């Protein structure tokens, strides 16, 4: 396997502080043999290293904090709001993953779609079928992507072929976690994934929390995405004062939990999220497609709640985290807030790494970090007179005109691959 050892070119470096970047117009990034960044700085005078991918800007790879593997082929299937869309379109597609051969074909498409868009790391809802989730892990391993993923847990509220009782599902998750969590130096992690409160019994949620606690695993689920869902959760769990309280009561609101959406929260839910140091995946393109509502980014950032961006494919219509960032701009405008392209790009990279608890090694171009990189062709960067803001605007808002040319994890280029024959 060949890895980059030196990159010379335009380097866009996010800082630890939200929404800030440093631009190094002629920089050099040095990697060690394992793909860790050893040094970064301006090219010295008389530097003889050739420019790597001329015309490209280098930045940390994108982090997709919420994406559904078994919805890869259901993108753009409009069938109403969340609960109708699940029942009418999504559950039928997800049932196909009972066949591991189908899962293997789609797993290739799924990983390739992320690589094509410069995504280097993702938090993935797997199939509710364990064999298909195992297939997903194998493909993630082969592709070189960084990810956390888990079986989507459901024991009610869906067709019987998607529901697995807690007594079967949890030992199977334990087995997958034993095999994959921490694989390849932590590149792959197992993520405990109860789908949402409406598809989980109290027993399943308690067992999921116990598994996550025992193994120190991350957790992901959906929270307060649509008003009809919030009302249904209130009916199903009358003993809980709020939606978030249903998760908290079953041990699922922790600092390792990543909640998708969080659109319809009461003040006490915002307070609890902050208190527990839980993270949020903001999925604006999905929210527009399903007509779910508008996320209030400043409610989160003012409380210092960690936020990343999620494609939420297949409710989201794109694997491009730049398109998602652009949708986040539109969503914020609806709240009367203009978010800068710097903050949007930061959320799609460093913010995502923070939300996944990966800040020690991922999401920045700094010595000691893994060289998870994307090279994006960008004409604006070549103009000596262009400003940092112009460059950031072009990257976020003009994704089509500024294509991804290379996606790298630990310095290794993730290659385009042949599709397996159907």
Does 317 interact with ligand GUN (rule: CB under 6 A)? no
- Identify whether the C-beta of residue 293 lies closer than 8 Å to the C-beta of residue 262: no
Residue 24 or 279: which CB sits closer to ligand GUN? Answer: 279
- Residue 409 binding partner per list Zn ion, ligand GUN, none, with a CB distance cut-off of 5 to 8 Å that depends on partner kind: none
Does 151 interact with ligand GUN (rule: CB under 6 A)? no
Q: Could you tell me the CA-to-CA distances from 221 to 174, 208, 278, 312 in Å, in that order?
A: 18, 11, 12, 12
Instruction: Provide, rounded to whole angstroms, the least separation between the CB of residue 417 and Zn ion.
Output: 26
| Of 8, 68, 129, 282, the one binding ligand GUN by CB under 6 A | 68
Residue 209 CA to residue 151 CA, distance in Å, equals: 14
Does 286 interact with ligand GUN (rule: CB under 6 A)? yes
Residue 181 or 312: which CB sits closer to Zn ion? Answer: 312
Q: Could you tell me the CA-to-CA distances from 170 to 103, 150, 161, 222, 249 in Å, in that order?
A: 21, 11, 17, 19, 19
Residues 240-279 binding ligand GUN (CB under 6 A) are none
DSSP H or E run through 229? helix 227-236
Q: CA quadruple 155, 227, 265, 232: dihedral positive or negative?
A: negative
For the chain, the distance separating the N- and C-terminal CA atoms, rounded to the nearest angstrom, is 28
| Of 315, 325, 356, 358, the one binding ligand GUN by CB under 6 A | 315
Instruction: Provide, rounded to whole angstroms, the least separation between the CB of residue 13 and Zn ion.
Output: 31
Residues 242-281 binding Zn ion (CB under 5 A) are 260
Count of CB atoms situated within 10 Å of the CB of 51: 14
Residue 116 CA to residue 145 CA, distance in Å, equals: 12
Residue 295 CA to residue 307 CA, distance in Å, equals: 11
Does 225 interact with ligand GUN (rule: CB under 6 A)? yes
Residue 10 or 201: which CB sits closer to ligand GUN? Answer: 201
Residue 245 or 312: which CB sits closer to Zn ion? Answer: 312
Residue 125 or 346: which CB sits closer to ligand GUN? Answer: 125
- Identify whether the C-beta of residue 311 lies closer than 8 Å to the C-beta of residue 318: yes
Output b/e per residue, 68-90; b: 16+ Cβ within 10 A: bbbbbebbebeeeebbebbeebb
Does 230 interact with ligand GUN (rule: CB under 6 A)? no
Residue ranges in 258-387 assigned as alpha helix (H): 267-276, 284-289, 297-301, 321-334, 341-346, 352-355, 379-382
- Residue 258 binding partner per list Zn ion, ligand GUN, none, with a CB distance cut-off of 5 to 8 Å that depends on partner kind: none
- Residue 225 binding partner per list Zn ion, ligand GUN, none, with a CB distance cut-off of 5 to 8 Å that depends on partner kind: ligand GUN
Instruction: Provide, rounded to whole angstroms, the least separation between the CB of residue 342 and Zn ion.
Output: 27
Residue 98 or 398: which CB sits closer to ligand GUN? Answer: 98
Instruction: Provide, rounded to whole angstroms, the least separation between the CB of residue 207 and ligand GUN.
Output: 19
- Residue 269 binding partner per list ligand GUN, Zn ion, none, with a CB distance cut-off of 5 to 8 Å that depends on partner kind: none
Sheet holding 62-68, edge to edge: 62-68, 119-125, 146-150, 188-190
Does 306 interact with ligand GUN (rule: CB under 6 A)? no
3-state secondary structure of 210: helix
Does 312 interact with Zn ion (rule: CB under 5 A)? yes
- Residue 195 binding partner per list ligand GUN, Zn ion, none, with a CB distance cut-off of 5 to 8 Å that depends on partner kind: ligand GUN
Residue 222 or 361: which CB sits closer to ligand GUN? Answer: 222
Does 90 interact with ligand GUN (rule: CB under 6 A)? yes
Q: Residue 18's Cα: distance from chain center in Å?
A: 18
Nearest to 412 by CA among 369, 353, 372: 372
Residues 184-203 binding ligand GUN (CB under 6 A) are 195-196
Nearest to 126 by CA among 113, 107, 145: 107
- Point out which residues bind ligand GUN (CB under 6 A): 68, 82, 86, 90, 195-196, 222, 225, 286, 312, 315
Q: Which residues bind Zn ion (CB under 5 A)?
A: 260, 312
């Amino acid at each position: 396997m060949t890895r980059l050892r030196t990159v010379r070119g335009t380097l866009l470096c996010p800082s630890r502080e939200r929404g800030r970047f440093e631009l190094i117009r002629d920089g050099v990034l040095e990697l060690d043999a394992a793909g860790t960044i050893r040094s970064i700085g301006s090219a010295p005078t008389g530097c003889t290293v050739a420019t790597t991918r001329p015309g490209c800007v280098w930045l940390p790879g994108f982090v997709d904090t919420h994406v559904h593997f078994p919805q890869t082929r259901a993108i753009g299937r409009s069938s109403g709001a969340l609960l109708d869309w699940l029942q009418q379109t999504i559950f039928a597609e997800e049932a196909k993953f009972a066949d591991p051969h189908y899962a293997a074909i789609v797993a290739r498409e799924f990983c390739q779609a992320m690589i094509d868009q410069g995504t280097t790391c993702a938090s993935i809802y797997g199939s509710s079928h364990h064999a298909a989730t195992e297939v997903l892990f194998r493909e993630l391993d082969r592709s070189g992507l960084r990810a956390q993923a888990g079986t989507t847990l459901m024991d009610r509220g869906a067709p019987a072929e998607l529901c697995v009782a807690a007594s079967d599902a949890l030992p199977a998750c334990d087995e997958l976690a034993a095999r994959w969590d921490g694989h390849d130096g932590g590149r792959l992690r197992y993520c405990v994934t109860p789908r949402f409160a409406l598809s989980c019994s109290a027993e399943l949620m308690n067992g999921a929390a116990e598994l996550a606690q025992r193994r120190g695993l991350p957790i992901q689920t959906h929270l307060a995405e649509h008003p009809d869902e919030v009302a249904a959760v209130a009916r199903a769990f009358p003993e809980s004062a709020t939606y978030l309280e249903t998760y908290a009561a079953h041990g699922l609101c922790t600092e390792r939990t990543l909640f998708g959406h969080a659109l319809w929260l009461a003040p006490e839910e915002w307070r609890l999220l902050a208190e527990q140091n839980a993270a949020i995946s903001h999925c604006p393109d999905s929210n527009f497609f399903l007509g779910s509502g508008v996320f209030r980014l400043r409610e989160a950032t003012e409380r210092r709640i960690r936020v990343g961006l999620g494609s939420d494919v297949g409710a989201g219509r794109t694997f491009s985290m730049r398109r998602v960032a652009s949708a986040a701009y539109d969503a914020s405008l609806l709240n009367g807030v203009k978010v800068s392209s710097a903050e949007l790009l930061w959320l799609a990279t460093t913010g995502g790494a923070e939300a996944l608890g990966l800040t020690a090694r991922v999401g920045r171009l700094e010595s000691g970090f893994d060289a998870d990189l994307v090279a994006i062709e960008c004409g604006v960067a070549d103009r000596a007179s262009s400003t940092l803001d112009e460059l950031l605007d072009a990257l976020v808002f003009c994704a089509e005109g500024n294509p991804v040319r290379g996606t790298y994890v630990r310095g290794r280029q993730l290659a385009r691959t042949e599709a397996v024959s159907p």
